[in-house]
Chain A
Amino acid sequence: MGGSVAVLSTGSQHRPQQQHQQRKHQNQQNRDQHLRGPVLLTRPGNRSPQSARQSFRLVGSDGPDTDVTMPDPPLSEPSVSLEMRTWQEGKVLDSGVWVTMANSGIPKSSSVGAGCNLRVFKIEAGDLTIRFDMTDAVPPEVRPKPAVPAKPPHVAPPPIPSHPAPTLSGASVRGSGGSTLLGYIGIDTIIEQMRKKTMKTGFDFNIMVVGQSGLGKSTLVNTLFKSQVSRKNSDWGREEKIPKTVEIKSVSHVIEEGGVKMKLTITDTPGFGDQINNDNCWEPISKFVNEQYEKYLKEEVNIARKKRIPDTRVHCCLYFIAPTGHSLRPLDIEFMKHLSRSVNLIPVIAKSDTLTPEEKSEFKQRVRKELEVCGIEVYPQKEFDDDIEDKSDNDKIREVMPFAVVGSDKEYQVNSKRVLGRKTAWGIVEVENLNHCEFSLLRDFIIRSHLQDLKEVTHNIHYETYRAKRLNDNGGLHPISTAADTQESNL
């Protein structure tokens, strides 16, 4: 390896450099931090001829460092070979040469050594840019120990995220005992093991969209998941009836990315808020949410349980606010009041290309104030922040919420790039441009950073609340008949 070695820290988007250094010196108390955000390694196309090869060292927050050497790629070559070496404390854990295709937008994943996961997102020719996404393994659907409805704020996080590991607690690296390791054991490979298992089983995510018709719900979901996953009334000539009562329609798709399979279920609620008299139009939705909890509960209390209980509970509910520019409507407030206690509610401002930037920020301020005044807790709920870091992350998100989004599935040419957008007579609204709308923030928030948290909060808090109430009401568990189900469904 010639040339200088540049040390880059991972997870750079959320933590500045010095914070990372501090943490490196801390005594491995934050092993279970999720490394978020991608790292961009750029080796410009026209370089000085001296350094034939260039190396980078990726430093994990703990654990092994990895040296990556990128040889000089002739740009016509279809593939790029990367030499990677992972080591810790002077010992080389893994090394190898890894070949990947240039100009491939398809992410390739490679597990290089323990505790350090490299996934290449994009290789663009011209300037050779390799994007490494140092995301931790997504822990599988492990059932945690049942918690009381409110998560106690200062519980020391377990060594492995949500893994009840009683046997290792004595010898853990950071327990209250704080014994130091004399050598490398390999406990941290558990993350890799979990990741492998998850890849095999896949996981599911259930999202519900609520709002008046015509606010762009289906388009947004299609844009979020970059595929036609939601039924869309693209043909306006068709006779389109507004249903007389609120219907609940669920559509499931299996989408795959980087070897990870996800069963995505989208629940739509046509007819919400469209009638003249919209009294209690949230009731069918509330009922549906509770029915899913009930289903899960029934499976759970079975004597002979399935190995993996199918999870149809709604993990996330996107509520679409019409961009009037004034404030929330009474219907919005009523709905959110009723549903924020039983499901993770994320309000979004729909069709936000009708608001100028000033109007947008004023509107958001008013909405936030009204939510506060009415005591509506939207996701991420303040009371469930685990620690300071979570709180600061979530506070940043809360300042921007509700996200003002624009959805589109049509592509246009802007500055020689193909972008998703909406073309009007006065300009093109780019969906993924942060100056235009906050779609990228919403997508990163839901999918790239808080997907697992959404599921955990649903399971640990909302479901537990429901379960506790049900068990209390019945004075113990006994099989429920379907007639009683509908009675108990109203929380």
Chain B
Amino acid sequence: MDAILQEKLAEKLLCPRARSSRQKDRQYVGFATLPNQVHRKSVKKGFDFTLMVAGESGLGKSTLVNSLFLTDLYKDRKLLNAEERISQTVEITKHTVDIEEKGVKLKLTIVDTPGFGDAVNNNECWKPITDYIDQQFEQYFRDESGLNRKNILDNRVHCCLYFIPPFGHGLRPIDVEFMKALHEKVNIIPLIAKADCLTPNEIKKLKDRVRDEIEKFGIKVYQFPECDSDEDEEFKQLDKELKECTPFAVIGSNTVVEARGQRVRGRVYPWGIVEVENQSHCDFVKLRSMLIRSHMHDLKDVTCDVHYENYRAQCIQDMTSKLTQDNRVDSPIPILPVPTPDAETERLIKMKDEELKRMQEMLEKMQQQIHEKDQ
């Protein structure tokens, strides 16, 4: 089965030329099957994705996450009442769930930020969030510079969905401050929450407004990559539509209702039924296709290539400047301030060192012997 697949794949890739000249079959090397091999390996390994949701409470974040991934992550959640919330600080909570679809495994981690923006005084309420993201980067940095790099756990946040309330007239001061604090650290995708309280006209106005303000304040939200020029027209058209639709106005629901003779997910009002997956009702489908179906990997890439690299560069710069301040020799390889190992590991290191010395001595002896033999 695999061989047939390989051949077919090869044929397809070499299509324009292969059909005309059969002798070129002899020049068929076969590395065109690489994508296939990568695919198989990754499927075995499984994927992971970390998604952060941020926004005030009551904007439907949990419902949307449940709707996106068709799970029920927040089953046992207890809502705080207002008195309890007065003394609440911003927390970071993580939920991990393993989902599988058609043999592909995904380890999904949702990072939630309860308490954000709820207090009376919300000064610097995003600090716990930026600290968390930095922590994950630092953890990865250490692991990467460590001895054992085989099984690094990647907890870096790949994407942050920020929920903008539909009740306002655009971005509020807290929205602007939050996004500015985070846009260099994580991919931000702004969403307009609870979009079913807006008429289509109002949605359009709000989107224009938010886009203008994002530009005005210089906030770098996640940009969709440009299509390659050899993609087909349909894909390009979809991509263009997607870009014009940001920020997405979403509605979430996991309750199945009866509408127009079908069973769909939606919300029932006395004046009508809102369907979550209906493109004319809200942008949920667009968000899902963008987030999961086409750009999930790109989000991870941007996190690794851009945000993490920025962090790393910043970190190294800080360290080298600290080193020169301390008047130590400039080392080409930065010395990572490794946390002092405990006694156990120190002993192990000593043992290994001695072993190494012994082995080196043995090697030298053997070399001498061979040398003597030759002579």
CB distance A436 to B199 under 8 Å? no
How many residues on B have C-beta within 8 angstroms of the other chain's C-beta atoms? 47
Collect the chain B residues with CB atoms within 8 Å of residue A353's CB: 196-197, 269, 271
0/1 per residue, B266-283, Cβ < 8 Å to A? 011111111100001100
Collect the chain A residues with CB atoms within 8 Å of residue B122's CB: 276-278
Return the contact of B82 from the options A274, A332, A428, A430 (Cβ within 8 A).
Answer: A332
Q: Is A329 an interface residue (CB 8 A)?
A: yes
Q: Is B57 an interface residue (CB 8 A)?
A: yes
A163 to B194, CA, bound (A): 52
CB distance A213 to B82 under 8 Å? no
* Contacts across chains A and B counted by CB atoms under 8 Å: 126
CB distance A350 to B119 under 8 Å? no
Return the contact of B167 from the options A212, A333, A370 (Cβ within 8 A).
Answer: A212
Known: A354-B194, A429-B271. A242 touches B85 (CB 8 A): no
Known: A426-B273, A427-B272. A330 touches B118 (CB 8 A): yes
Collect the chain A residues with CB atoms within 8 Å of residue B196's CB: 353-354, 424
A331 to B57, CA, bound (A): 13
Collect the chain B residues with CB atoms within 8 Å of residue A82's CB: none
A10 to B233, CA, bound (A): 72
Q: Is A109 an interface residue (CB 8 A)?
A: no
0/1 per residue, B145-170, Cβ < 8 Å to A? 00000000000000000000111111
Collect the chain A residues with CB atoms within 8 Å of residue B205's CB: 236
CB distance A279 to B120 under 8 Å? yes
Return the contact of B200 from the options A276, A277, A328, A425 (Cβ within 8 A).
Answer: A425
CB distance B270 to A326 under 8 Å? no
Distance of B66 from chain A, by nearest CB (Å) = 15
Q: Is A356 an interface residue (CB 8 A)?
A: yes
CB distance B120 to A331 under 8 Å? yes
Q: Is B12 an interface residue (CB 8 A)?
A: no
How many residues on A have C-beta within 8 angstroms of the other chain's C-beta atoms? 51
Q: Is A196 an interface residue (CB 8 A)?
A: no
Known: A356-B269, A436-B271. A275 touches B173 (CB 8 A): yes
CB distance A276 to B82 under 8 Å? no
A353 to B59, CA, bound (A): 14
A426 to B267, CA, bound (A): 11
Closest to B275 in A: A426
Collect the chain A residues with CB atoms within 8 Å of residue B321's CB: none
Return the contact of B83 from the options A277, A373, A427 (Cβ within 8 A).
Answer: A373
CB distance B173 to A324 under 8 Å? no
CB distance B200 to A327 under 8 Å? no
Which parts of A302-349 form the interface with B (CB within 8 Å)? Answer: 322-334
Collect the chain B residues with CB atoms within 8 Å of residue A330's CB: 82, 85-86, 118-120
CB distance A333 to B271 under 8 Å? no
Which parts of A375-428 form the interface with B (CB within 8 Å)? Answer: 422-428
CB distance B86 to A214 under 8 Å? no
Collect the chain A residues with CB atoms within 8 Å of residue B274's CB: 426
CB distance B123 to A350 under 8 Å? no
Collect the chain A residues with CB atoms within 8 Å of residue B322's CB: none
Q: Is A473 an interface residue (CB 8 A)?
A: no
CB distance A425 to B281 under 8 Å? yes
Q: Is B58 an interface residue (CB 8 A)?
A: yes
A158 to B268, CA, bound (A): 51
Collect the chain A residues with CB atoms within 8 Å of residue B267's CB: 356
Closest to A353 in B: B197
Distance of A331 from chain B, by nearest CB (Å) = 5
Q: Is A491 an interface residue (CB 8 A)?
A: no
CB distance B209 to A322 under 8 Å? no
CB distance A276 to B174 under 8 Å? yes
Q: Is A374 an interface residue (CB 8 A)?
A: yes
CB distance A274 to B173 under 8 Å? yes
Return the contact of B272 from the options A324, A373, A426 (Cβ within 8 A).
Answer: A426
Collect the chain A residues with CB atoms within 8 Å of residue B209's CB: 236
Q: Is A215 an interface residue (CB 8 A)?
A: yes
CB distance A212 to B168 under 8 Å? yes
Collect the chain A residues with CB atoms within 8 Å of residue B123's CB: 276-277
Distance of A363 from chain B, by nearest CB (Å) = 10
Q: Is A169 an interface residue (CB 8 A)?
A: no
CB distance B169 to A215 under 8 Å? no
CB distance A366 to B169 under 8 Å? no
Distance of B193 from chain A, by nearest CB (Å) = 10
Return the contact of A324 from the options B58, B199, B271 (Cβ within 8 A).
Answer: B58
Q: Is A233 an interface residue (CB 8 A)?
A: yes
CB distance A214 to B169 under 8 Å? yes
CB distance B167 to A357 under 8 Å? no
Known: A212-B167, A351-B197. A326 touches B79 (CB 8 A): yes
Return the contact of B58 from the options A326, A422, A433 (Cβ within 8 A).
Answer: A326
Collect the chain A residues with CB atoms within 8 Å of residue B83's CB: 333, 370, 373-374
0/1 per residue, B179-206, Cβ < 8 Å to A? 0000000000000001011111000010
Distance of A429 from chain B, by nearest CB (Å) = 5
Q: Is B295 an interface residue (CB 8 A)?
A: no
A240 to B58, CA, bound (A): 26
Collect the chain A residues with CB atoms within 8 Å of residue B174's CB: 276
Most chain B CB inside 10 Å of its own CB: which residue of A351, A354, A423: A354
CB distance B168 to A424 under 8 Å? no
Given A275-B173, A322-B167, A351-B167, 20 extra CB contacts under 8 A: A213-B168, A240-B170, A242-B172, A324-B59, A326-B58, A327-B80, A330-B118, A334-B120, A351-B197, A354-B196, A356-B269, A366-B81, A374-B82, A374-B83, A426-B275, A427-B272, A428-B271, A429-B269, A433-B270, A436-B270
In the A-B complex, list the 8 residue pairs whose CB atoms are closest, starting with the nearest.
A324-B58, A427-B272, A354-B197, A426-B272, A427-B271, A214-B168, A328-B82, A330-B86
A-B contact pairs, 30 of them (CB 8 A): A212-B168, A213-B169, A214-B168, A216-B167, A276-B125, A279-B120, A322-B165, A324-B59, A327-B81, A328-B82, A330-B85, A333-B82, A333-B86, A334-B120, A353-B271, A354-B194, A366-B81, A370-B81, A370-B83, A373-B81, A424-B198, A424-B199, A424-B200, A426-B273, A427-B272, A428-B271, A429-B269, A430-B271, A433-B270, A436-B270
